[in-house]
Amino acid sequence: MKLRMNQAIAHAIADEMRQDSRVFIIGEDIAAAEGPFKTSEGLLTEFGPNRVRDTPISEMGFLGAAVGAAATGLRPVVEIMFAEFLGVALDQLVTEAAKFRYLSGGAYGAPLVVRASVGAGLGFGAQHSQTLETWLYATPGLKLVVPSGARTAYGLVRSAIRDENPVVVFEPRVLYAGREDVVLGEEGIIPIGTGELLAKGNEVTVVGLGQTVGTALGAAQGATWGADVIDLRTLIPWDREMVCESVSRTGRLVVVEESPFSGGWGTEIASYVSSECFSALKAPVLRITCPDVPVPYPPHLEKRFLPSVEYVREQINVLVATNKRDKPWWTKEGFLS
Amino acid sequence: MTTSLQLERRASLDDPIARWDRMLEIRFFEDRIKGLFAEGLVHGTTHTCQGQEAIAIAIAMTLRPTDNVCCTYRSHGIALALGMTTDSVLGEIMGREIGAIGGIGGSMHLSDSSIGLLPTSAIVGGSIPIAAGAALSAQILGQDRCSVAVFGDGASNIGAFHEGLNLAAVWKLPVIFVCENNVYGEYSRINLTTAVEDISIRAVSYSMPTEILDGQSIDSVAQGLSRAVKRARSGEGPTLLECKTYRYSGHSRADAGLYRPAGELEEWLKRDPIDLYERQLIESKLINEADGELMRNEVNLRIDQLVERVMESPLASVPAMFRNITIGNPK
């Protein structure tokens, strides 16, 4: 069935709610208004206000309440409108939810899902356009998944709700309106922790996440080199096996990130692969990222900020031709080192 | 930009006719922004303040330009009232070099140190503790300066509100918390999200003086604010002011406000702040009926010309996105 990503998410939540009466959804304007990004369309009508619950603007309060409810028998799905709003609730997620199982000797878990919209591309400016995976990255006890479109959104959200652990779903906001064929039902469920090989090629492995998956695929299409393009889909825990197997064949790794260069999520991938697959590598690992600046607001600069298809292709052209890493555009143009 | 222009615009509010002119400027500016978005000439999001203009004017005419103001993503009106130029605000919204911060911030991110406007926040409640901090620096530095936090009723449900008010009360900070109770927090009516009808009641928990003011009346807000500012400057600590008002538009550009009960907007339009002030000016014989129409046309024309100027001005440049991130560090 062809669905927009926001519709696929609403379908995934509804399917889990039908099967499991413990599942409920809370967040700001998710019930009557059906979500600011329409990710809970139809849910209030079908499940009623007890299971589809609007909240005050109180992220710490309602995320904390979800942790308590999860520990005592329910399966909350929490919507955080923009990932930045997690800032005031991070304590409840990172320091409470992620530690509940550990600190109760396994007696209590916190099987909740926190969904938040992320990323640049729609002109929401510096405080509403970040990706923020690394706020959560070094937190044992959490899982983190990032869909790259409607199909993976459906499959990952369903898995996240079924998971016994706190799972964060970062939904690239720019993809909500994109339509894709979605496999509904059990067949459409995507196991957490698995990547997906979207294209096959011999010269380079290109890893993307969220909206950079489309960028990576676009760059590989019609390129002079052949690439394995991997949609990571889960960042914690990421599919080391798939990435290393691919790199052992191609000998080159490129990570395409919607993150600042310094400390972006690809640093972990690059570090691991450099150590584990050292002997297979013909070239240094290349991270293609955004510059170390806040997300600029105007469309022409926001476009410049994100790695484009052309830029990714050019960077990989150099890598494949020379086995050397090209400098990023902001270095070549003298803005940053 | 020279700072004298903003200060001149600020000082001009001593004249009641200029106050009315500024309210019209804000109203027509906001109406035009909605139009520009609808035409696809601006991208991203925007939050307009039609219906809340009197509060902005009252704040600007009561505070000194050396005082600080900390506010939200719904701040075009306050920024214009405080003295920012229409070019600088529209320039920012349209991503132009002439924008308040060079066009890289957009509608939600305005700032102007010449009139004490700290960066406006896109995070609900984010600026409330910051206003307490701006008051703390005045207290520690022994400066005769106060600060004002402006926020909506929805923000009073977030932790930052309660922590900020408590700190300010404990330390007797020269800060005034101005709540624009416009009945809606994002898409939800206040009764669905907030345990009290009057935000003012929340001051009791912090032993803080509080007043409920008519947010549609410049005089009501200015008088209440003057009393609070006097307390702040004389070391008596913070005040919570609740201004009863109404948001004519939806939460943001994406929201048509269809959840509002029928007739509610129409009731509020009967007490439109601009109309109320016009009647007051006519009764005081400062203007006559015909002047009102002339001024409306004149302000509209100014906004037309503004849009033309900004549309023709250069877009923010690529180097702009690399500026002002940190200073003093090698590249």
Are B25 and B305 spatial neighbours (Cβ–Cβ below 8 Å)? no
Q: Could you tell me if A134 and A221 lie in one domain?
A: no
pTM of the entire structure? 0.89
- CB-based contact B103 A84, cutoff 8 Å: no
Is the Cβ of B123 closer than 8 Å to some Cβ of chain A? Answer: yes
Spatial contact of A282 and A322, defined as CB atoms under 8 Å apart:
no
Size of interface A-B (CB pairs under 8 A): 128
Phi-psi region of A283 (alpha: psi -120 to 50; beta: other; left: phi over 0): beta
Q: Are residues A170 and A315 in the same domain?
A: no
- Residue A105 in any domain: the answer is yes
Using CA atoms, how far residue A81 sits from A9, A203, B23, B180, B195, in Å, is: 14, 40, 32, 23, 22
Cα of B168 to nearest chain A Cα, Å: 20
B151 three-state secondary structure: strand
Cα distance between the two ends of chain A: 47
Burial B14-48 (b: 16+ CB within 10 A, else e): eebebbbbbbbbbbbbbbbbeebbeeeebbbbbbb
Is residue A174 exposed (0-12), middle (13-18) or buried (19+ Cβ within 10 Å)?
buried
Query: Are residues A204 and A180 part of one domain?
Result: no
Strand order in the sheet with A196-199: A196-199, A227-231, A204-208, A253-260, A286-290
CB contact under 8 A, B109 and A127: yes
Q: How close does chain A come to B158, measured CA to CA in Å?
A: 5
Report whether A315 contacts A288 (CB < 8 A): yes
Q: How many CB atoms lie within 10 A of CB A124?
A: 26
User: Six-digit token pair at A146?
Assistant: 């990032």
Answer whether A127 sits within 8 Å of B104, measured CB to CB.
no
Sorted by sequence, the CB contacts under 8 Å of residue A10 that are 6+ apart come out as A35, A38, A39, A40, A41, A42, A43
The pLDDT score that the predictor gives to residue B329 is 56
- ipTM, two decimals, is 0.81
Is B313 near chain A, with CB under 8 Å?
no
Measured between CB atoms, does B301 come within 8 Å of chain A? no
Element (H, E) at A253: strand A253-260
Q: Is some CB atom of chain A closer than 8 A to the CB atom of B318?
A: yes
Is residue A337 in some structural domain? no
> For position A156, which CATH number holds?
3.40.50.970
Domain boundary among A156, A188, A220: A188
Which positions of chain A have pLDDT values less than 70? none
The tokens of B317 are what?
Answer: 């440049």
> What is the span of the domain harbouring residue A281?
196-332
Question: Nearest chain A Cα to B323, which residue?
Answer: A293
Q: Which residues of B touch A305 (CB under 8 A)?
A: 321
What is the model's pLDDT at position B134? 93
Could you tell me the CA-to-CA distances from B203 to A205, A325, B239 in Å, in that order? 59, 59, 8
Pairwise CA distance, residues B221 & A82, whole Å = 33
Question: A153, A188, A223 — which closes off a domain?
Answer: A188
The CA distance from A282 to A253, in Å, is 9
Q: How far is A283 from chain B (nearest CA, A)?
A: 26
**Structure confidence at residue A337 (pLDDT):** 84
Put simply, whether B154 touches A (Cβ < 8 Å) is: yes
Decide if A84 touches B, using CB distance below 8 A.
yes
A318: domain CATH number is 3.40.50.920
Q: Which of A161, A188, A215 is the last residue of a domain?
A: A188
> Which positions in chain B touch A61 (Cβ < 8 Å)?
157, 159
> Measured in whole angstroms, how far is the alpha carbon of residue A203 from the centre of its chain?
26
Is some CB atom of chain A closer than 8 A to the CB atom of B56? no
CB contacts of B316 in chain A (<8 Å) are 296, 298, 300-301
- Same domain for A321 and A178? no
Would A237 be classed as within a structural domain? yes
How far, in Å, CA of B51 to CA of B57, rounded? 12
Q: Which residues of A are catalytic?
A: 128
Residue A29 touches partner B, C-beta closer than 8 Å: yes
How many Å lie between the alpha carbon of B188 and the closest alpha carbon of chain A? 7
A residues 286..315 contacting B (CB < 8 A): 291-294, 296-301, 304-305
A227 and A271 part of one domain: yes
Chain B, window 221-260: residues with a beta carbon less than 8 angstroms from a chain A beta carbon:
254, 259
Structure tokens belonging to residue A194 = 């698995």
Query: What pLDDT sits at residue B326?
Result: 80
Work out how many domains chain A is built from and give that number: 2
Cβ neighbours of B281 (radius 10 Å): 19
Residues A289 and A177 reside in one and the same domain: no
**Please, are residues A289 and A328 in contact by the beta-carbon 8 Å criterion?**
yes
**According to the model, what pLDDT value does residue B208 have?**
98
Of B108, B125, B259, the CB nearest to A32: B259
**Among A60, A124, A304, beta carbon nearest to B318:** A304
A33 and A90: one domain? yes
A308 within domain boundaries: yes
Q: How far apart are CA B218 and CA B233, in angstroms?
A: 22
Q: How close is the nearest chain A Cα to the Cα of B42, in Å?
A: 9
In a domain, A164, yes or no: yes
The residue of B33, B96, B101, B104 whose CB has the most chain A CBs within 10 angstroms, and thus the best one to mutate to test that interface, is B104
- DSSP letter string, A127-194: TS----GGGTTT-TT-EEE--SSHHHHHHHHHHHHH-SS-EEEEEEGGGTT-EEE---SGGG---TT-
List, for residues A227-271, the tens digit of each pLDDT value. 999 999 999 999 999 999 999 999 999 999 999 999 999 999 999
Select from A127, A130, A295, A335 the residue whose CB has the most chain B CBs within 10 Å, as the one to mutate to test that interface.
Answer: A127
User: Are A140 and A201 contained in the same domain?
Assistant: no
User: What local confidence, expressed as pLDDT, does residue A27 receive?
Assistant: 96
DSSP assignment of B153-168: GGGGGSHHHHHHHHHH
Q: Domain for residue A131, yes or no?
A: yes
Nearest to B277 by CA among B220, B207, B206, B230: B220
- Half-sphere exposure in the Cβ direction for A138 (13 Å, CA): 4
Looking at the structure, do residues A213 and A313 belong to the same domain, yes or no? yes
* DSSP assignment letter at B315: B
Length of chain A: 337
Distances (CA, A) of A107 to A114, A286, B80, B175, B177: 22, 43, 57, 47, 45
Cβ-count burial of B192 within 10 angstroms (0-12 exposed, 13-18 middle, 19+ buried)? middle
Task: Name the residue among A33, A293, A301 with its Cβ closest to that of B325.
Answer: A293
Q: What angle do CA A308, B37, B306 make, to 5 degrees?
A: 110
Say yes or no for a CB contact (<8 Å) between B108 and A335: no
Same domain flag for A171 and A46: yes
What span, in angstroms and rounded, lies between the C-alpha atoms of B156 and A331? 45
**Are residues A284 and A328 both part of a single domain?**
yes
Of A297, A298, A335, the CB nearest to B322: A335
Distances (CA, A) of A92 to A95, A101, A240: 6, 14, 29
Q: How far apart are CA A212 and CA A330, in angstroms?
A: 19
Q: Does A55 touch chain B (CB under 8 A)?
A: yes
Kindly tell me the sign of the dihedral angle through the C-alpha atoms of B149, B155, B157, B163: negative
Spell out, as residue ranges, where chain B has pLDDT lower than 70: 1-3, 329-331
What SS3 class is residue B98?
coil
CA separation, residue B17 to residues B80, B224, B262 (Å): 16, 21, 34
Give the largest CA-CA distance in chain A: 61
* Structure confidence at residue B100 (pLDDT): 94
Q: Which residues of B touch A294 (CB under 8 A)?
A: 325
Asked if A104 and A252 sit in the same domain, the reply is: no
- B235/B230 Cα distance (integer angstroms): 9
CB atoms under 10 Å from CB of B285, counted, come to 7
Domains, chain B, ordered by start: 4-256+287-312 (3.40.50.970)
